[in-house]
Every structure is written in C-alpha cells, then in structure tokens.
Amino acid sequence: MSFLQIKIYRGKFIAYTVFVVSIGLAIGLITCAILLYQWVDNARNEATSAFIRVENAFQYNADRIEAYMQRVYSNSGLMTDVRCFLGHSAEGYLTGRLQESRYNQPLVSFPDDMKSFLYSGGQGDITQVSLHTTEQGNVIHFDSNGKASFKFRLPNTDEAFQESIHKGFVYRKKLSDPNQISRQLGEFRFLVSSDHIFKNVSNYRVDQAAIVNVSGDVYPIIGTNNRTEELVRQAVADERSQGYLSTGGLNGVFFVTFSSTKFDYQFVSLVDLGLMIRDQAGVLLTVFLIVLSAMISVLVLIVHNLREDARFLHHIIHSMGRVKTADFTPETPMRYRRNEYGVISRELEDMVRQLDKYIRTEYLLKLKQQETEMKALQNQINPHFLYNTLEAIRSRALVNSDVETSDAIATLGALYRDIVKQENIITIGKELALLQEYLKIMEFKYPDRFYYQFNVDDALLSVPTVKFWMQPLAENFFVHGFNSSNEFNLLVIKGWEEKKHFRLEIVDNGKWITKERLKEIRDTLLRTDDAPVKSIGLHNVYTRLHFFYGKRFAMEIGNNEEAGVKITVIIPKEVNQHVQTSNCG
C-alpha cells in the first residue's frame, strides 16, 4: 500500500483503522450483549412459565380437594363411611360399614370414591390421603398406577406423616360433624407429591431448577448437583428476585426466584452463562464473522479511497517537482476524480502546460529580441559614418541644384536618426510622425502618383504603443498593392475613440487580396509556433502589438468594397492603466 509512505495518509489510515476496529468491537459486544440478554430473558420467561404451571397445578389440586370435601358433606352415605374409617382398625372399619349399611341402599366405599374422584382427570398428583384424630391416623396411599394401600392407627408422629418438600405438600382440611358444624370429628391431610407436581418443569427450556423451603431444604427439580444446591441457597439468601452470581473467574450464573402463594417455598431457576455461551457458540461465531466482514469491507473501502487520494497527491508532488526542475515533458493524464484533489491535479497539469507554453513563448520572444538587438547593434555600427555619408550626398545634390533629392536625403537621415535614438515605447502621435517621414520618402519616389492622408483624433495621439509598427503595414501597400501605372495611389490612416477601445484603420486603393491568400494571412497572424511564415512583416507586427496590448487587442485584414485593402487595429483602453504616457519616449 503505497499511500502508507505519505505521513498524513499513514496517520489517517491508523486513525481510521482504530476507529473502525473500535466501532466493530463495540457493535460486536453490544450485539453479543443483546443476544445474551435475550437468551437470559428467554430462560427467565421459561422459568416463569414453569413456575406458573406449578402454581396452577397446586391450585387445580386445591380446587379438586375442596370439591371433594363438599362431596363428602353433601353425601350422607359417604360421610357415614368416612366416620367409620376415622379412628378404627381395618376390622373395625369393615365391621362399622356393615353395621351402618342398609339393605335398600348401595354400599358406599370412601377409599374407592376418593380414588375415582381425585384420579378422574388422570392427575395422580395426590399420592396419599390420611384421616386423623388427635392422636392417630389412618392412611390411604396410591402408587404410580393408582392402586391403593392402607395403614391404620398410625401415631400422628409416624414418619408417614412427616412433612418434607422431598415428599410433597400437604393440604389440611377439617372434618366437622354435619349435624353440628362447630364439632370437629377429625382432619383430612392430602399429600401432593413433589415428584408429580414438578415433573412437568422438564417440558420447559430450564437448565437448572430447584425449590427451597424456609428451613433451607433444597428439592432438586432438573439439572442440579451439590454445587447447584449451594447456588440455590445463595440465590434465596440474596433476597433479589433475579441477579448474577459469580462462580469463580469469568464464570457465573443468572438466577431468578419466585415465591409461592400456595405453600411456603421458593422456586429457583439457574442459567449457567458459560454453558449458554458454549451452546450458542455458532450464533456468536456468526455475529463475529459478520462484524469482521463489515470491518474488513469498510477498511478495504478506506484503503481504496486513501490510495486514490494518495495517487493524486503523488501526482501533484511529482508535477511540482517537474516544475522545479523545468521538466515539462507531456505525461499521460491520469483519471480524474470529481473532488478537490481531482480539481487541484487537473488545474496543476493545466498550469504546467500553460507555464510550458508561456516559457516557450517568452523564450522565443527573447531569442527574437536578442536577434533584433544584434541586428540593431550591427546597424548602429558607426552611425555617424552613415549620417556623414548622407550629408555629403545631400551637399552634392545642393551644389547641383537638386533640391528634391536633397530633401529626400534629409528626410531619410532624420527617419533613421529617430528610429535609432527613440525609446521602444512611444505614443501613437510619435509613431505617426515616423510613418509620415517614411511616406514623404515614398512621395519622392513616386512623384505625382502617390498621396496620403492622416485623419486621427487627438484622443489617440497620447496612447502608448511600441515603436515602428505602422511602417511595415504601409510598406505592404507599396510591395503588394501599389500600381505604378495608376496616377492616383492613395493611403489613408484614420483613427477614432470608441466606448471600450481605440480604432485605427490603414486603408489603400490598391489591389485586392485573393480569398485564399487572405485566409492564409489571417491564419498566419494567429500562429504561435516557430514555423516559417510568408507574411513575416504582418506576423511580427501582430505578435509585438498582441504582446504589448494583451488579449483584448485585435488586428483585422480585409478587402475594401471598391478597391484595395483595409487593416484595422483595435487597441483596448486598459493600456492607459498599465503604461503611463510619461514613460513613453
């Protein structure tokens, strides 16, 4: 990953990685915590349902016992048999039944009636019924098949009557004399078996469950051991309805307790968190893989974006290095992104190209300027020799009474002196003066066949310009458009001020330019390369003026409708803001 070589992106990647991993771990832990809470909540709900089932079973048996007691009181024959069963031995019970029976009524059996009533629903929760006096009791015991066995005259202190949560829970009902309610005959004790009442707890998804009485006795229901019994006692001693118990290290159990409204005991359910986590390892592994995949995907996306950004930054740094070393070799443009990096990279490449173009243009201008200066230096070698020579020829013309030749020589000397001595930047008024001296010479050359006119507003005379550009434009007329056989060859220079610029026109009445040649000339003016051109004079004038006046400058060349050529020069008014008239020579 090359972007790691860049410090800012290396720092960003580390920060993003820490952030993504932290968020991923947080999401994973929160998800696992939510799942663990859901599983614990499901276990709590299962324990609640199991406890409610037990309480409903107790209530169901209580309702059946209460209904049976009403049955005893409402059936005189059954009541008689119950009284015979109370306090007698087996022989006494059978003898009493026979004595109390009547030939015209069916013989009623209390044990058989109880069995058919209490076991009619197939419950079988009541495994023992005993009928007690103040000192002893008779017992009817039902096995798992509902078969009854009897024990008579057992002391109330007998082990068969000892109450324990391991044996079951006892419902006590007083047996009163139906003829005298306040007189108690004895007491019914209905034993509801713990094994029967709690066996349905296994139908629920409860890991470990037990009940505890006030004495601390523990009756294991499902999945318990010695360690579990101790935890059950701790949960009851905790006095919270639910909570967490540590079993050492990172292990622990979640407990939930319920207090019975029927009997004095508490129902305790335990959830081994370590075992639960091991059982749900597949789900947790799936969550881990999902979170890991999400983190990897996010990091891959981050790496992709950082790598792309780093590529642009590398390109930017490389471009800056190329500029520093003046290496403007064109490179294959890279794929741009639609963001700030892409804009910067694109603009930087454009800047490099424009800078290369500008340097090349400046370099060529410098070369041309140096070439011009060299030529000027060569032309300026001993200028006094040329002046003296022209003056000697002029003197000879005067001696021979040739005034016109003398004036022409004087004009040429003055023109040459002005070209050599004046500054490079002058006013248009002085440039027009130079042009007028040149045109005077051409009048001498073509007497009575060439005429010129200046119609230039005063506002243009103080506008700064470069020196000696009008003469090449006028010279084009004499080279290409002048007709020596024509008696009237005219050159007109017009100039006026407009709203945003100044306009100069050089108009002649010479020959037209063909359309093909005119298009070629116009294309030549706009060329920026160094290829040789035919209209070098026009091209040089355009290049100099465009460089001086800037992008708003324009030069147009076209044919007049009547005859001749018109060259239009458009000068922006902003030139007065950048070049002061006082700077002009």
3-state secondary structure of 60: helix
pLDDT at 190 over 90: yes
User: Considering only CA atoms, which of 436, 550, 457 is closest in space to residue 502?
Assistant: 457
pLDDT of residue 419: 65
Per-residue confidence band for 415, with pLDDT thresholds at 50, 70 and 90 = low
User: Considering only CA atoms, which of 158, 163, 289, 145 is closest in space to residue 214?
Assistant: 163
**Distance (Å, rounded) from C-alpha 251 to C-alpha 328?**
71
Whether 254 and 262 have beta carbons less than 8 Å apart is answered as: no
> By mean pLDDT, which of 39-43, 134-138, 272-276, 493-497 is the weakest?
272-276
User: Considering only CA atoms, which of 215, 244, 271, 262 is closest in space to residue 47?
Assistant: 271
Per-residue confidence band for 377, with pLDDT thresholds at 50, 70 and 90 = very low
pLDDT at 43 over 80: yes
Per-residue confidence band for 385, with pLDDT thresholds at 50, 70 and 90 = very low
Task: Measure the CA angle with vertex 428, ends 423 and 430; round to 5°.
Answer: 55
pLDDT tens profile 266-296? 999 998 888 888 888 898 899 989 999 998 9
Six token digits for residue 387: 């002046």
pLDDT of residue 228: 82
pLDDT tens profile 531-570? 555 667 788 888 888 888 888 899 999 998 888 999 999 9
Mean pLDDT of 110-118: 81
**Distance (Å, rounded) from C-alpha 524 to C-alpha 533?**
7
pLDDT tens profile 122-146? 467 888 999 999 889 999 988 877 7
pLDDT at 102 over 50: yes
Per-residue confidence band for 303, with pLDDT thresholds at 50, 70 and 90 = confident
In this structure, the strands spanning 148-155 and 218-222 are unpaired
pLDDT of residue 384: 47
Mean pLDDT of 241-245: 89
pLDDT of residue 582: 47
Six token digits for residue 169: 């829970």
Mean pLDDT of 366-384: 55
Amino acid at 163: E
Per-residue confidence band for 319, with pLDDT thresholds at 50, 70 and 90 = confident
pLDDT of residue 112: 84
Residue with tokens 């027009």: 432
Residue with the bigger pLDDT between 201 and 400: it is 201
Per-residue confidence band for 249, with pLDDT thresholds at 50, 70 and 90 = low
pLDDT at 89 over 90: no
Q: DSSP readout, 264-279? A: SEEEEEEEEHHHHHHH
pLDDT of residue 464: 92
In this structure, the strands spanning 450-456 and 489-497 are parallel
pLDDT of residue 394: 62
Q: DSSP readout, 152-183? A: EEEETTSGGG---TTTEEEEEEEEEETTEEEE
pLDDT tens profile 155-169? 999 988 888 898 999
pLDDT of residue 382: 46
**Distance (Å, rounded) from C-alpha 281 to C-alpha 283?**
5
CATH C-level class of 422-583: alpha beta
Per-residue confidence band for 171, with pLDDT thresholds at 50, 70 and 90 = very high
> pLDDT > 90: what percent of the chain?
22
Mean pLDDT of 30-44: 89
Torsional class of 547: left (φ above 0), alpha (ψ -120 to 50), beta (otherwise):
alpha
**Distance (Å, rounded) from C-alpha 242 to C-alpha 260?**
15
Whether 564 and 508 have beta carbons less than 8 Å apart is answered as: yes
Distances in Å between the alpha carbon of 344 and those of 8, 9, 302, 316, 347? Answer: 18, 18, 21, 8, 5
pLDDT of residue 81: 87
pLDDT at 181 over 70: yes
pLDDT tens profile 389-409? 565 566 656 666 666 676 667
pLDDT of residue 568: 95
State the chain's mean pLDDT as an integer.
81
Most trustworthy range by pLDDT among 33-42, 118-127, 410-419: 33-42
- Sorted by where each begins, the domain ranges of the chain are 207-279, 422-583
End-to-end distance of the chain based on CA atoms, in angstroms?
64
Mean pLDDT of 413-419: 66
Edge-to-edge strands, sheet with 489-497: 450-456, 489-497, 501-508, 565-572, 554-559
pLDDT at 327 over 80: no
3-state secondary structure of 335: coil
Mean pLDDT of 224-232: 80
pLDDT of residue 49: 93
> By mean pLDDT, which of 308-312, 509-513, 514-518 is the weakest?
308-312
